[in-house]
Structure 1
Amino acid sequence: MTLYKNIPFILLSLAFILVSCKYENKEKDFCKEDLKAKKMMQGVWYDELEDNVVFSVNGDTIFYPDSISLPVAFTVINDSLCLNGAIMTKYPIKNLTEHLLIFKNQNGDEIKLFKDENASSKKVDLVKYNRHVAINQHRIIKKDTVVMLEGVKNHIYIQVNPTTYKVSKSNYDNEGVRVDNIYYDNTVSICIVKNSVKTFIHDFHKKEFLGTIPSGIIQQSILNDIIYEGHDSDGFHFYATMGIPDTPSNYIAEIIVSYNNKHTISKIMN
């Protein structure tokens, strides 16, 4: 008798499991990558009105014609072009054929691109696969200042050193597509020599300025330079400048090296 009493509960449980499985299968189909669309995306795509290459697709990666824009992995899911860069962005595809691609950018504008089938054309030559070049000054900058204090000669050396530390910054190209540019950060050294004796030396990295510059800003910023400003009873004063590449904004922090060879960092302005 107990078995018969449990039959409604068993049937209800089975129905729930069947519905759940059906829902999961639909969800998987909804999120499934469109490999046919990805295959049609392969090749060089250009703007016919501007007569310039917008991007080229090779395998799972989109390449841009300029050397500073980072190649980005992509997928086509649910009629959307998904770019898996530093931030994932989706662009609704309105039409995609072997020779035509129409999608909407982040402003809602329709972008119409055509595929260049001529393998010998200059448009193909503009796209250099795997030739991304990060932006950096690629040179060491040295500065030397002499300060006389109570008859003692103080040599202050500042050196800006390029590094291989990468900083990623997102921009939008002419078609309104988000692209990631890569820059190289710097370290800056301060060395103070008194009467031929090194009394202070330190290599400054941008992470040391986290307490004075917002973390969201500092992640996209580059330590540009440190400038000697002057001295007073507190010690030697320096201004460190840090900014996001290709923007006019700079953040400035003050470094004070005391006469007992200790340094402090403080915020002075945005």
Structure 2
Amino acid sequence: MKLTLLLFLVMSLFSCGQKTGSEKEGDGVKPKLKENMQAKELLQGVWYDDDSGTPLLLVKGDTLRFIDQSDSSMEFMIVKDSLYTYGYDVVSYKIDKQSPYEFWFHSLSDRIVKLYKSENLEDSLFFMDNFPPEPIPIYTEVVQKDSVVFYNDRRYRGYVYINPSTMKVNKPTYSDEGIRIDNIFYDNVIHICVYEGQNSLFARDVLKKDFQSLVTDTFYEQAVLADMDFDGVDKNGYHFTARLGIPESFTHNLISVTISFEGKMSLALKELKME
């Protein structure tokens, strides 16, 4: 059970324009600040939520995991009165209270989350099945689709190959406690080609970045190149429809892809759907 809450990202940890996140996907950059090692040591172990009574946080060494996190553990630091997590982005939580058996902090929704240290060794088992070791693939194997169309008494066959890749896409969500959870998915590379008989007329790989100028930055960051269909041939060339979508939602963009007979690709937004 998750609620959509206002996202508050830490834009800077200190002055002089220090960046809080790396330009490389999936990596945060640690600031050169003095870490409170005693506070980090106190945070080791499993912590359960006071409201629900269920384990919420597992801390081991320099990493931590929230119970609903689909990606691997995140590195963290405690600097003064703040907890910094280094997942896909850098996120900060203000610490309200810390002792050997209590840890209270402000969530991104400005709620005070009250955690208490578990003394039950079996509570660590809650985290064993909750964290797939790899990002979630949209497809687990290559998907091939083909269509046959006729134009000017000629028979054309269009092929679409949807190939899973290792390119990561982050879709952040927020728990009931207002904690940011990074859900990481794999994007796809789609290969399209057109044949007339045995003669190959056109072939190329299509990536999500080919459509970046047609969609908003917020949508682009969370979307994957989910699908492609061959629609037909006319005087303007070969026509495909691409679908960019946000994983595990009904929000998507349909984009018209036209390949001229000279091999030039042109794009046009067909549909934006949000549910």
Question: TM-score band, normalised by the shorter chain?
Answer: 0.7 to 0.9
User: Which residue in the other structure is 2:26 paired with?
Assistant: none
User: Which residue in the other structure is 2:159 paired with?
Assistant: 157
1:212-256 Cα offsets, whole Å, 9 max, x none, are 223443233210011223443212221111123234321222111
User: Which residue in the other structure is 1:212 paired with?
Assistant: 214
Q: Distance in 2 between matches of 1:41 and 1:67?
A: 18
User: Which residue in the other structure is 1:134 paired with?
Assistant: 135
Aligned amino acid, residue 127 of structure 2? V
Aligned amino acid, residue 249 of structure 1? T
Q: Distance in 2 between matches of 1:131 and 1:169?
A: 15
1:104 to 94, 106, 112: 106
User: Which residue in the other structure is 1:72 paired with?
Assistant: 74
Q: Is the 8 A contact 1:86 1:180 kept in 2?
A: yes
Aligned amino acid, residue 233 of structure 1? K
1:148-201 Cα offsets, whole Å, 9 max, x none, are 223322111111111111112322122211122211000111111101211111
User: Which residue in the other structure is 2:183 paired with?
Assistant: 181
Q: 1:44 to 1:249 in 2, by over 3 A?
A: same
Greater relative contact order: 1 or 2 (C-alpha under 8 angstroms, separation 6 or more)? Answer: 2
Larger Rg: 1
Aligned amino acid, residue 267 of structure 1? L
- Structure 2 gaps, min length 5: 1-32
Matched residues, number:
238
1:5-60 Cα offsets, whole Å, 9 max, x none, are xxxxxxxxxxxxxxxxxxxxxxxxxx532211111100011224424321200111
Aligned amino acid, residue 126 of structure 1? F
Q: Distance in 2 between matches of 1:219 and 1:90?
A: 21
1:256 to 250, 255, 258: 258
2:45 to 43, 46, 51: 43
- Structure 1 gaps, min length 5: 1-30
1:226 to 215, 225, 228: 228
Q: 1:66 to 1:106 in 2, by over 3 A?
A: closer
Kindly indicate which of the two structures has a greater share of residues assigned to helix: 1
1:130-165 Cα offsets, whole Å, 9 max, x none, are 853311121222211111223322111111111111
**Normalization by structure 1: what TM-score?**
0.80
Q: Distance in 1 between matches of 2:250 and 2:204?
A: 28
User: Which residue in the other structure is 1:21 paired with?
Assistant: none
Distance apart, 1:118 and its partner CA: 2.3
Question: Map of 1:232-243 to 2, 5 A cutoff?
Answer: 232-243=234-245
Q: Between 169-178 and 153-162, report the one with greater CA deviation.
A: 169-178
Q: Is the 8 A contact 1:57 1:63 kept in 2?
A: yes
**Normalization by structure 2: what TM-score?**
0.78
Q: Is the 8 A contact 1:67 1:133 kept in 2?
A: no
Q: 1:67 to 1:95 in 2, by over 3 A?
A: closer
Aligned amino acid, residue 253 of structure 1? I
Aligned amino acid, residue 154 of structure 1? Y
Q: Distance in 2 between matches of 1:172 and 1:221?
A: 18
